[in-house]
């Protein structure tokens, strides 16, 4: 039984925070699906991840490529990722089903705290998932490092 972790971005943009979170997930030995809602945004994110940090390489691919099943990190729009992930990272308000939270090791909902619409969507996701009995944690980076601000048990 997994948990949903909500990451409230206030200092760093997605292209800075996501590689850090992906690195942690990969250190845990997890395959990851990054689920978005817009193909152009996923193409942009793919380019950002390839540019990456000079001190590290983040192996990943866009869905519908020839090696989806082998990707440690797969960028996708689909609810079912071909790389059999243990962790889902939902960005840009991508939907998360409570059954996914129960099935996966971790579901991360990453949202831009400077976008009122993104905040509203994340609040709705928190309520929906916790009302369905999912364990959840809320993390904020406003102090300059990630700090857990709230937690709900399953």
Q: What is the mean pLDDT of residues 66-86?
A: 96
For residue 127, give the nearest of 90, 107, 98, 89 by alpha carbon: 98
Which CATH code is given to the segment(s) 9-86? 3.40.50.10110
Residue 87 C-alpha from the chain's centroid: 8
Q: What is the mean pLDDT of residues 27-50?
A: 95
- So what's the pLDDT on residue 58? 86
pLDDT interval class at 53 (50, 70, 90): low
pLDDT interval class at 55 (50, 70, 90): low
- pLDDT surpasses 80 at 73: yes
- So what's the pLDDT on residue 90? 98
pLDDT > 70 fraction of the chain, expressed in percent and rounded:
97
Q: Cα Rg for the chain, rounded, in angstroms? A: 14
Cα angle, residue 147 at apex, residues 130 and 152 outer, rounded to 5°: 20
pLDDT interval class at 51 (50, 70, 90): confident
- So what's the pLDDT on residue 54? 56
The reported pTM is 0.95
Cβ atoms < 10 Å from Cβ of 124: 11
Q: What is the mean pLDDT of residues 45-71?
A: 86
Sequence ranges of the domains in the chain? 9-86, 107-154
- So what's the pLDDT on residue 1? 73
pLDDT > 90 fraction of the chain, expressed in percent and rounded:
88
**DSSP codes, 50-110:** HH--TT-----EETTSTTGGG-SEEEESSSS-TT--SEEEEETT----HHHHHHSSEEEEE
> What is the average pLDDT value for the chain, to the nearest integer?
94
Query: Residue 118 phi/psi, 5° resolution?
Result: -65, -40
Give the tens place of pLDDT for each residue, 6-35.
999 999 999 999 999 999 999 999 999 999
């Amino acid at each position: 039984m997994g948990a949903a972790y909500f990451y409230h971005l206030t200092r760093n943009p997605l292209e800075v925070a996501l590689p850090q979170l992906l690195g942690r997930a990969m250190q845990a030995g997890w395959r990851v699906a990054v689920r978005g809602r817009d193909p152009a945004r996923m193409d942009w994110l793919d380019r950002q991840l390839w540019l990456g940090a000079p001190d590290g390489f983040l192996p990943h691919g866009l869905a519908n490529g020839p090696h989806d099943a082998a990707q440690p990190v797969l960028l996708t729009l689909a609810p079912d990722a071909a790389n059999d992930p243990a962790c889902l990272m939902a960005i840009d308000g991508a939907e998360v089903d409570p059954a996914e939270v129960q099935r996966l090791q971790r579901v991360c909902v990453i949202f831009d705290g400077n976008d009122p619409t993104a905040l509203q969507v994340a609040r709705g996701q928190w309520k929906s998932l916790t009302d369905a009995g999912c364990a959840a944690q809320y993390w904020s980076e406003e102090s300059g490092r990630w700090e857990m601000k709230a937690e709900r048990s399953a």
